[in-house]
Amino acid sequence: MYALVDGNNFYVSCERVFRPSLTDRPVVVLSNNDGCAIARSNEAKALGIKMGAPWFQIRHLEDDARLVALSANFELYGDMSDRMMSLAAGLGHQQEIYSIDESFVDVSGIRGDLVHRAHQIRSRIQQWVGIPCCIGMGNTKTLAKLANHIAKDAERKPGSYPAHLAQVCNLESLSQKDKDALFALTPVEEVWGIGRQISKQLHAGGVHTIHDLLQLDPATIKRGWSVMLERTVRELRGIPCVDLEDSGQARQQIACTRSFGKAVTDYRDLEEAVTTFASRAAEKLRHQHSLCGQVLVFIRTSPFGKTAQYSRSMVVPLRRPTDDTAHLVQAALLGLQSIFKDGYDYAKAGVMLMELQSDQVQQMELRLEDEPDRDRSRLMLALDTVNTRYGKGTMKLGSAGATQRPQNWTMKQMRRTPRYTTDAQEMVLVRA
């Protein structure tokens, strides 16, 4: 039995905690470069703003509808997330943090009224952190996600679902008849794991609601679609197929990619950007105690532009698995060198670290001319310690750019709010 705790309009809700004047107003949070809307308040959704809508297309709503747009402040959201997660964990024995605003909690064997308990956790999160959230519960993770969707819609769109399911919805406390009614009300595209393509195919086959989907037998689904969809349908029937994952598990891939604030044409600028991305990725790598076996670097022009298009990537294998910033940057720059072509307006670049493995495992090798340098790991530790204490980028590689040189590739963030909870210089001031 699982619960899914999910913050409502999470990024917007984080901003509202520190700016109550944003309450009841349409608010969106913009992606990096203030490119498109990645979070919307209910009022913004009501204006018809779609997820991912480009800012230049909706910007007229600033005047027309008092829309407020903010640049993404991920440092703030990450910190608010930590606070919310630690309270959500109190719901059961084990928690999987699934994304910045969602966590699954195993509530099997918890005694007492689960719905009551969930309401308590919910109001605690609201009061202590300031984030409104909804909680869905079901026998499988897919059902918990579905219950969460119902809890949200019941609250946001009165009449869509029975009102008593708003905010907290436990599917397992309902009768089969009531569950069937909810299944008949819910379109297949609301199910976790059913996206645009598959729902289009399902609709074409006359399958519109979860109720319709459950009429098909798993074998047919596997034959007609995939094992993934089969698994989803089994989960909807209450048969657990997806376990709670250990949140401490290391990622299999680490990426750092960015769009530039304006077109980049100069190789030097790309070199700075790629160095910075590889360094950032290396920090994340060391943070999860992994080593990397190969580095991918890519550059590309804007797919939306009318200028000449160019997009290339290259995988650079490493001499031996490493977490050393200098080695990873070196590999990334080697790749950059061979894919760079003069004369294009570059819009984006990125570095991905692949073939990750634990840093506790060491492949022994014959003595070779360049033996790994034991002091390097102490250097990396010093680098991370300095940058944690004095701020990102305090100490960096020379190719990341000298401070005197203007940075031509950094992203645009015209509307960022203060880092209220993580930077002493930006704390909220209260006047008595």
Stretch binding DNA (CB under 7 A), from 154-162, 266-274, 343-351, 371-379 = 343-351
- What residues have CB less than 8 Å from 261, skipping those under 6 apart? 33, 409, 410, 411, 412
What helix, strand, coil percent values describe the chain, rounded to 5? 45, 20, 35
Residue 363 binding DNA, by CB under 7 A = no
- What's the min distance (Å) between Cβ of 36 and DNA? 5
- What's the min distance (Å) between Cβ of 341 and DNA? 19
User: Binding DNA by CB under 7 A: which of 142, 170, 259, 322?
Assistant: 259
- What are the tokens at 204? 């074409």
Angstrom distance (rounded) from CA 220 to CA 230: 9
User: Binding DNA by CB under 7 A: which of 31, 94, 126, 417?
Assistant: 31
- Specify the amino acid at residue 192: W
User: Binding DNA by CB under 7 A: which of 33, 142, 279, 408?
Assistant: 33
Instruction: Note whether 139 and 238 are within 8 A (CB).
Output: yes
User: DSSP character for 148?
Assistant: H
- What's the min distance (Å) between Cβ of 144 and DNA? 11
Helices (H), 310-407: 325-339, 375-390
**49-88 footprint of DNA as x/- string (CB under 7 A):** --xx-xxx--------------------------------
- What's the min distance (Å) between Cβ of 345 and DNA? 9
- SS3 state of residue 103: strand
Tell the burial category of 297 from Cβ atoms under 10 Å away from its Cβ (0-12, 13-18, 19+). buried
- Specify the amino acid at residue 198: I
Residue 247 binding DNA, by CB under 7 A = no
- What residues have CB less than 8 Å from 350, skipping those under 6 apart? 255, 256, 257, 258, 277, 297, 298
Stretch binding DNA (CB under 7 A), from 94-102, 128-136, 335-343, 399-407 = 94-102
Instruction: Note whether 150 and 142 are within 8 A (CB).
Output: no
- What's the min distance (Å) between Cβ of 176 and DNA? 25
User: DSSP character for 157?
Assistant: S
User: Binding DNA by CB under 7 A: which of 23, 123, 220, 226?
Assistant: 226
**Of residues 17 and 255, the one with the C-beta less far from DNA:** 255
Q: Please, what sign has the CA dihedral across residues 44, 46, 50, 55?
A: negative
User: Binding DNA by CB under 7 A: which of 38, 185, 316, 397?
Assistant: 38
Element (H, E) at 29: strand 27-30
User: Total binding residues for DNA by CB under 7 A?
Assistant: 48
- What's the min distance (Å) between Cβ of 194 and DNA? 5
- What's the min distance (Å) between Cβ of 18 and DNA? 21
Rounded to the nearest 10 degrees, the angle between the axes of helix 227-236 and helix 141-156 is 70
Residue 344 binding DNA, by CB under 7 A = no
- What's the min distance (Å) between Cβ of 43 and DNA? 20
User: What residues between 277 and 336 interact with DNA by CB under 7 A?
Assistant: 284, 302, 304-305
- What's the min distance (Å) between Cβ of 40 and DNA? 12
- Pairing mode, if any, of strands 290-301 and 68-71? unpaired
Angstrom distance (rounded) from CA 111 to CA 91: 11
User: Binding DNA by CB under 7 A: which of 26, 92, 321, 350?
Assistant: 350
**Of residues 62 and 113, the one with the C-beta less far from DNA:** 62
**402-421 footprint of DNA as x/- string (CB under 7 A):** ---------x----------
**Of residues 117 and 133, the one with the C-beta less far from DNA:** 133
Residue 210 binding DNA, by CB under 7 A = no
**135-164 footprint of DNA as x/- string (CB under 7 A):** ----------x-------------------
**Of residues 117 and 281, the one with the C-beta less far from DNA:** 281
User: Binding DNA by CB under 7 A: which of 86, 99, 394, 407?
Assistant: 99
Residue 348 binding DNA, by CB under 7 A = yes
How many alpha carbons lie under 13 Å from residue 423 in its C-beta half-sphere?
13
Rounded to the nearest 10 degrees, the angle between the axes of helix 375-390 and helix 267-287 is 100
Nearest Cα to Cα of residue 84 among 98, 66, 72:
98
Q: If phi over 0 gives left and psi between -120 and 50 gives alpha, with beta otherwise, what is residue 331?
A: alpha
Binding-site ranges for DNA (CB under 7 A): 31-33, 35-36, 38, 51-52, 54-56, 98-102, 145, 191-199, 226-228, 251-259, 263, 284, 302, 304-305, 347-348, 350, 352, 411
